[in-house]
Structure 1
Amino acid sequence: MVENKVNSLSHKPILISNELTCFKSYDIRGKLDTEVTPDIAYRIGRAFAEIINPKTVVLGGDARLSSEPLKQALAKGLMDVGVNVLDLGMTGTEEIYFATFHLRLDAGIQVTASHNPIDYNGMKLVGKEAKPIGPNNGLLKIRALAESQAFLPKATLIGTYKRLNLMTDYVIHLMSYIHPQNIKPIKIVVNAGNGPAGQVIDALESQFKSLNVPIAFIKIHHQIDGHFPNGIPNPLLPENRQATHQAVLEYGADLGIAWDGDFDRCFFFDEHGQFIESYYIVGLLAEAFLQKDPTAKIIHDPRLIWNTLDISQKFKGTALQCKTGHVFIKQRMRQEEATYGGEMSAHHYFRDFAYCDSGMIPWLLISELLSIRQIPLSKIIASAIQAFPTSGEINIAINNPTEAINRVKTHYQAQASKIDTCDGISLEFTGDQKEWRFNLRHSNTEPLVRLNVESKGDPQLLKQKTNEVMALLIKYKSD
């Protein structure tokens, strides 16, 4: 195989003559036929091979009809530079993470647009140990080279292409997070959204049966279908939750689970079919790990924190705050050797999963926790909501986000008992039994500010203060 190294003398000067708008801050995504095409995928493969210089790359793709041709074009771009390709077929993003660290490969790429509309697609890129490839470690160089197309000559020896099935190894790894003997009889509605999560559930179901684990599945929207007859799998949209809600009620299930398109996130419904805000799931997963190891470190984002801190303190664990975003969470977890990291956006990260996010590990842990505690999920969550009610994330279109955030900070800073600028601004208030806090941050991709407010056991105070902060922001609201 020809080994290609990139340095300042390897290419002609890179001129941005054909801007690729599909490159975002930490991944690739865009509209089909314009921003994302097989030709662009090929160019990204060529550029990835030259900049990252891998020997072997593992590829996978979600259920979208466009994913397979894009993946094959990507594979050709890689192989033309002498890179060997392992193709896992139709996968969730975490299967690519798993393959990369499990097989000790140089890199992995998942073709996916996750929960984006059907006319979108994209890619998520990782390097060794499944570490994300972002703007500081190659993504910008890959973009520049793919745009300029100032590629090195094709390799004399073209890379190899091999299909690979790692489902058995992956399922064995997933099972390692629970003690199967702890599981009591439990009935779970699973909504794969016609994406690849369904084939993982089938494999896990087979494993459960062989071990006599009493988990029974009610499967809806289970068959893989790239036309997405039931809509793009995005459980954050209220209209996409109704099918799971109804199935939980109809079958008397203990729990409902729904996934997004590449199943790196899962969303929970209680035994009444009620959707659960993912912030409270972070606390439950922290509890699951701290019950097993009180010395565990838990990483959380700054948007909503009090429930997570309370659970960590209760179990004498250590909770550490980190800037929002998978790159920052993963980096901080590695630095701290943290067991678990959670974001209120339903991204859950695990040390033993190479610090990557998974949409399968969380529901396994929650199922075990419910079996151990023998309390319905609704009661556990109700207790947390009562103790720490929240506004939920409020997104406001703002003409001048920076000015708006500064206005809010100026208004409140003299009253605040604590001010934190880890991610946007977080202000905390105590005194006269009135404890509340808020986080206000700028969207990285849109002219939006995102507001989260929480209180300690005071829904009326929560409502009052949410309206108060909103009133300050209204002046800057876009038409």
Structure 2
Amino acid sequence: MKTFEPIAITCFKAYDVRGELGVSLDERIAYRIGRAFAQFLGEQTCQDTATIVVGADIRPSSETLKAAVIDGITDAGIDVIDLGMTGTEEVYFATSHYQAIGGIEITASHNPINYNGLKMVREHSRPISADTGLAQVQALAESGQFTTRPKGKITQLASKDAYIAKLMSFIDTTKLRPQKIIINSGNGAAGPVVDALESQLIAANAPIELIKIHHTPDGSFPNGIPNPMIIANQATTRDAVLAHQADFGVAFDGDFDRCFLFDANGRFIEGSYVVGMLAEAFLQKHPKQTIVYDPRVIYNTENVVSRLGGVAALSKSGHSFIKQVMRDEQAIYGGEMSAHHYFKEFFYCDSGMIVWLLVSELLSSTGKSLATLVDDYIAKFPSSGELNFRLGGHDATSIITKLEQLFANENPSKNTLDGLSLDFGKWRFNLRSSNTEPLIRLNIESRGDKALLAQKTAELVSFLQQHGAASADH
């Protein structure tokens, strides 16, 4: 029987695993995490047979890490459904659909090419975080105190049919009006799913034309790491929208759990306004339901929910936290300004694909353009967009504390659910540390006052730079 020496594993984060290849994450560590995850969940379920679904994005390192994870899971006596190359939401779907005890996606999403990671869920696609099992998985992986069971078996499952059918169930194709949509998959994992959805739209005689760019999955990312939140990366989608006179554009990150939108003018739509738009669409169909949102940008979402008689529920940022609040509150929809959107009917999980399908249906049913739908939001509640800063060795907690002290005499309303949020009535900001990258993230918004927004943005950016933070948005 193989024995394992205790080791330190440093790639565990608040709600997933993310690490630099060869530094904090490699096949040996991936094996131990897979085995610990399977043993932990297997002991909790006490089933004679149990299965974990596993998928991986297109990064060159993902396939070898996936193989190591699968080896660890099967050595723990748990069966595996290997989904092949997938986006994260495909693992979320399969975990519930195939009644698995858990799921793992090997992905680093939008992080640099020398990073990778694991996104994990429990039974029924429930989130797992440090408070709900991730700490135990880390402790077991580090200790190497694994039990011995007969090796589990592996089933390959390439078909996406059940998943595609679930996505299509969110829209009524008979309501779709003629539209031209740009889809930028960023050479990530989204391409095959977009193709499958396109086939379904064609079969339904839906008058939707998809113009696909950077479509072929390519782990070398020849057009750059797919992270549409970086301003420089938005030009490709914007230019394609304008060149093809499209109705709107869609851009995905690497594992396509985030969906970014561009209107017909090529304008990038900040995620918080998309949250408001989808919250409004859901509340009009389902009155008095609960909408979950994160603390970074809140004015518009709270206004929409209040105006339509819904229930607003604030959650800490991050998929694990949002999903748990949604389950606790039975929320119909949840959204983050970072372009994660969560749906009760998708097992309370986030999906990038459902978003653009819903937007296409919404433009068809309202007869309005995307720009028209969000212009009022933007005018009433202008925001800075998320501004990212590298710390350069400085301490995030110290910087946040100093910023709070700077405004102490103004007696703002304070919320520390996620970083520091200070609300001054006419404007507010949120400053928080990233859970996935060595950054601090700043968001500022105002109540209809663009000049005040610009003034406060300049002040806060200057303050952060004076205290050693350097802009990472380039």
Aligned to 1:138, the other structure's residue is in SS state: helix
How many pairs are equivalent?
A: 461
- Displacement after TM superposition at 1:473 (Å): 4.2
CA distance in 1, matches of 2:413, 2:135: 37
- The residue correspondences of 1:27-426 to structure 2 (distance < 5 A) are 27-53=16-42, 55-153=50-148, 155=149, 157-397=150-390, 399-416=394-411, 418-426=413-421
Report the AA paired with residue 104 of structure 1: Q
Greater mean deviation of Cα atoms: 65-74 or 82-91: 65-74
CA distance in 2, matches of 1:42, 1:428: 46
CA distance in 2, matches of 1:166, 1:88: 8
- Displacement after TM superposition at 1:278 (Å): 1.0
Greater mean deviation of Cα atoms: 396-405 or 239-248: 396-405
Report the AA paired with residue 426 of structure 1: S
Report the AA paired with residue 420 of structure 1: N
- Displacement after TM superposition at 1:476 (Å): 2.4
Report the AA paired with residue 172 of structure 2: H
CA distance in 2, matches of 1:426, 1:33: 37
- Displacement after TM superposition at 1:139 (Å): 2.0
- Displacement after TM superposition at 1:286 (Å): 0.6
- Displacement after TM superposition at 1:471 (Å): 4.7
Residues 36 and 415 of structure 1: is their aligned pair in 2 closer, same or farther, counting only changes over 3 Å? Answer: closer
CA distance in 1, matches of 2:316, 2:348: 16
> Which structure 1 segments of 5+ residues have no match?
1-10
Greater mean deviation of Cα atoms: 409-418 or 89-98: 409-418
Q: How many percent of aligned residue pairs carry the same amino acid? A: 51
How big is each residue's C-alpha offset from its partner over 1:158-217, in whole Å with a ceiling of 9 and x where there is no partner?
Answer: 211111144111111111212222211111010111222111111111111121111110
- Displacement after TM superposition at 1:377 (Å): 1.5
CA distance in 2, matches of 1:225, 1:447: 26
- Displacement after TM superposition at 1:416 (Å): 4.1
Aligned to 1:66, the other structure's residue is in SS state: helix
> Which structure 2 segments of 5+ residues have no match?
none
Residues 199 and 446 of structure 1: is their aligned pair in 2 closer, same or farther, counting only changes over 3 Å? Answer: closer
Contact 1:400 1:447 in 2 (8 A): no
Report the AA paired with residue 378 of structure 1: A
Report the AA paired with residue 22 of structure 2: D
CA distance in 2, matches of 1:442, 1:116: 16
Contact 1:288 1:366 in 2 (8 A): no
CA distance in 2, matches of 1:446, 1:241: 20
Please report the RMSD computed on the Cα atoms of aligned residues, expressed in angstroms: 2.2
Residues 360 and 471 of structure 1: is their aligned pair in 2 closer, same or farther, counting only changes over 3 Å? Answer: same
CA distance in 1, matches of 2:143, 2:412: 52
- What TM-score comes out, normalization by structure 1 length? 0.90
- Displacement after TM superposition at 1:106 (Å): 0.5
Report the AA paired with residue 256 of structure 1: G
CA distance in 2, matches of 1:73, 1:244: 36
Residues 468 and 478 of structure 1: is their aligned pair in 2 closer, same or farther, counting only changes over 3 Å? Answer: closer
Contact 2:180 2:208 in 1 (8 A): yes
CA distance in 2, matches of 1:461, 1:206: 48
Greater mean deviation of Cα atoms: 108-117 or 33-42: 33-42
CA distance in 1, matches of 2:390, 2:59: 30
CA distance in 2, matches of 1:400, 1:87: 41
CA distance in 2, matches of 1:228, 1:401: 31
Aligned to 1:213, the other structure's residue is in SS state: coil
How big is each residue's C-alpha offset from its partner over 1:205-259, in whole Å with a ceiling of 9 and x where there is no partner?
Answer: 1111121111110011111222222222111222322221221111111111111
CA distance in 2, matches of 1:223, 1:89: 16
Aligned to 1:234, the other structure's residue is in SS state: coil
Greater mean deviation of Cα atoms: 356-365 or 231-240: 231-240
CA distance in 2, matches of 1:375, 1:129: 37
Give 1 or 2 for the bigger CA radius of gyration: 1
Contact 1:413 1:427 in 2 (8 A): no
Contact 2:181 2:208 in 1 (8 A): yes
Contact 1:416 1:427 in 2 (8 A): no
Report the AA paired with residue 387 of structure 1: K
1:468 aligns with 2:459: yes
1:21 paired residue number: 10
Report the AA paired with residue 323 of structure 2: K
1:7 paired residue number: none
CA distance in 2, matches of 1:232, 1:417: 39
Contact 1:284 1:366 in 2 (8 A): no
Greater mean deviation of Cα atoms: 71-80 or 90-99: 71-80
CA distance in 1, matches of 2:311, 2:28: 48
Greater mean deviation of Cα atoms: 76-85 or 139-148: 139-148
